[in-house]
Amino acid sequence: MHGVIPVNKPKGLTSHDVVMRMRRILHMKKVGHTGTLDPEVTGVLPICIGEGTKLTEYLQTKKKRYHAEVTLGFSTDTEDQTGEVTGRSEGVTGISDEAIDQVIGTFPGSYHQMVPKYASVRVDGRKLYEYARKGIEVDRPVREVFIHEIERTGRVEREAGLVRFSLDVSCSKGTYIRTLAVDIGRHLGVEAHMSALVRTESCSLTLDRAVTLEALQEGEPRDFIVPIPELIEDLPSVEITDESLFFKIRNGQKMDKSDIIEKVGKDDADMVAFTRAGVPVGIYYDHPEHTDIMKPYKMFNI
């Protein structure tokens, strides 16, 4: 079994918990995930299996989509609904729908996010959440992220001195949606946090394709595998038809980029997949030091 199984992660489980359960269900050790979801977050968690684990790094570069709920009125130390309240704002129910939409409309494109206190990003060899749990303040990294699309969905709810609204967000790898919620509140001049989150797309796999752990346990896991050819179908590809080229690729030999580009017919290709009889053999990418050479990125043994 090689590829990815998109799991609909339930609340209460860490991504590592899901990997451990998948190993038991599939009776195999070569299992991994493509990006952590917090325990309280649900939705698409792509689980790589077999030779599909070699695509983890590549799949993580693809954009993600989320459905989030933002609450205006108070902030928390974790920036989501699980944390301790750290600040409150009065009068938030007076913020108009138009003001909210205007602020939301400023976020598409690149912007700089400060990594939240409770994150697994390392500073001086230790994870940020380790500092936070001990009450130690450290300088947190600021990263450039990209918001491809962001849209408010449904009504703005006003109740008990709070304001709640939902967002659909398409964003780059490394974007913290809870920090986005806090930043929206900051632009409105009030305290805010993310009160719920569902990941609706990851690695080009959508929630409607995701399977529950219970369904996997009761059914045939092979029926839910997204095969490697589908996972890399957006890459330019070369079907190997002669033995000399197959020998070079199978043995991971570097190749002149001009030769590969000629076969692909695409001048700007920086990553190319090779197949034989439709079966993936390997992926080559631009050599980091020699612009006229391409070298192996990942090789498959299928």
Catalytic residues: 38
Tokens, residue 180: 């986005």
CA-to-CA distance for 27 and 50, rounded, in angstroms? 11
Q: Report which of 130, 2, 124, 150 is spatially closest to residue 66, judged by C-alpha positions.
A: 150
Q: CA–CA separation, 73 vs 77, rounded Å?
A: 14
Residues 6+ apart with CB under 8 A from 256: 292, 293, 294
- Rounded to whole angstroms, the Cα distance separating 37 from 44 reads 9
